[in-house]
Amino acid sequence: MSRVTTPPLSVDVVLPCLDEAAALPWVLGRIPAGWRAIVVDNGSTDGSAELARSLGATVVAEPRRGFGAACHAGLLAATADVVCFLDCDGSLDPAQLPRVAGPVLAGAADLVLGRRRPTAFTAWPPHARLANAELARRLRARTGAALHDLGPMRAARRERLLALGLGDRRSGYPLEMVLTASAAGMRITECEVDYRPRAGRSKVTGTLRGTRQAVRDMRSVLAAPPPTLLVIAKEPVPGRVKTRLTPPYTPEQAAALAEAALADTLGTLSQVPAGRRLLVLDGTPGGWLPPGWEVAPQTGGGLDERLAAAFALASPDAPALLVGMDTPQLTGRMLAEPLSGARRAGVDAWYGPAVDGGFWALGLARPTAGLARQLLLGVPMSTAGTGAALLERLAAADLTVCQLPSLADVDTATEVDRVAELAPDGRFAACRRAIGPHLAAGLDSPSEVAG
């Protein structure tokens, strides 16, 4: 195997830790120069936290027990562009981290796992190795990625991981990361790393109780189907979209803003884990449509009828979330976290309120055409009471609702400026800057999920 030198970029290394004082000096001593070690103490009683701190590591306390809780606390504490994960028990050599991080730093992959190669028979118990092989087989079938190991040494860009909205906080976290990364379109690969006998006994496979819990956690992750993401939109044609922006904008400027808002929305949702992405469109798709999206025509009728019909296109076996075309400030984490398998347990619906009294998102855990019609048909659209009326329908149907963040639509010139400030790096903000100054005018008007 060719020698890989340490890339000169900053990398944070997250090390979940529970009573690993015996291994810490060796592990921390082999972290690549210039890389920061973040030891996440998960309730150690052997002085691991104090020892790690004395050895120069950044120490984060995570009182909630669980491998996923410790890993995610480290991810949140990280600040580098690329984050690596590594067990703190001495079974994996931190000096080999550049092998795993290298493809991510070079832009050749989005998530890299270290495929473990045992250096001794005792390094990997037979029952754990067989379970891992079966899990890897299922991963290959689910993701199409050529993976042979759910390796605990891994690397990815921090922002991409945060956008996955990982919700498991126990042993299912590593599996959830791979499945959701695949569902978000990330490029996944693996490279070989040495696997040594660990210091002490494993908290997972080292006990019958730990093994059973890990199996339950991973079964739960595997059983959670990725959601369907629906976007309802109009083709951005001058005179047909964002007419409430004219004046002060011209019809051409309003259409350009609508196209930019739609492109930003679709781009964000392209990175949210999903089984299907479906644009329900009034019109013809253009160059703003990213790859990986299905397109279906809108039905006729009022907006309430068109929204209900969009849900009929989703599978009843997976959650479905419908959003509009004019919330370019939307981020992946706003949706990925509440839609994650661990977070959606017990949730029947998701509701995203708009600041003007409308709504920008509606999701159903078990979408059917009948339920969608029950909730939406007859709800007055484009009024200050639209959102309240929908919430009443959700309550009457006895649905447990998860409320999403409140967002502003872009139905007035004032809202255009406000939203452009909230998302200054997107196409919408760039389009607003290109148009130049104008006389902001118009009162706020109620919005709804469609553009």
pLDDT of the residue at 253? 95
pLDDT of the residue at 215? 66
Question: Which of the pair, 220 or 197, is modelled with greater confidence?
Answer: 197
Same structural domain, 344 and 403: yes
Same structural domain, 205 and 288: no
Same structural domain, 242 and 181: no
Backbone angles phi, psi at 18, to 5 degrees: -140, 100
pLDDT of the residue at 222? 80
DSSP state, residue 367:
-
Same structural domain, 255 and 202: no
At 270-317, the pLDDT tens digits run 999 999 999 999 999 999 999 999 999 999 899 999 999 999 999 899
Same structural domain, 274 and 422: yes
Domain boundary among 223, 256, 271: 223
Amino acid, res. 11: V
Domain boundary among 223, 258, 278: 223
Instruction: Output the CA torsion sign for 25, 31, 35, 37.
Output: negative
Q: Is the pLDDT of residue 199 over 80?
A: no
pLDDT of the residue at 126? 78
Same structural domain, 217 and 239: no
Q: Say how many domains are in the chain.
A: 2
* Residue 160 falls inside a structural domain: yes
CATH number of residue 326's parent domain: 3.90.550.10
Average pLDDT over residues 76-92: 96
Q: Which of 137-151, 204-218, 289-303 has the lowest mean pLDDT?
A: 204-218
Same structural domain, 362 and 404: yes
* Residue 447 falls inside a structural domain: no
pLDDT of the residue at 443? 35
* Residue 316 falls inside a structural domain: yes
* Residue 2 falls inside a structural domain: no
Same structural domain, 73 and 108: yes
Same structural domain, 178 and 232: no
Domain boundary among 193, 223, 253: 223
* Rounded Cα–Cα distance for residues 158 and 83 (Å): 6
Same structural domain, 415 and 319: yes
- 217, two tokens: 């956690």
pLDDT of the residue at 122? 77
| Domain housing 62 | 11-223
Same structural domain, 180 and 240: no
Same structural domain, 278 and 397: yes
Q: How does strand 320-323 pair with strand 228-234?
A: parallel
Q: Which of 268, 307, 262, 315 is nearest to 289 (CA)?
A: 262
Instruction: Output the CA torsion sign for 431, 436, 439, 440.
Output: positive
* Residue 289 falls inside a structural domain: yes
- 414, two tokens: 């004032």
* Residue 57 falls inside a structural domain: yes
Average pLDDT over residues 235-255: 93
* Residue 357 falls inside a structural domain: yes
* Residue 329 falls inside a structural domain: yes
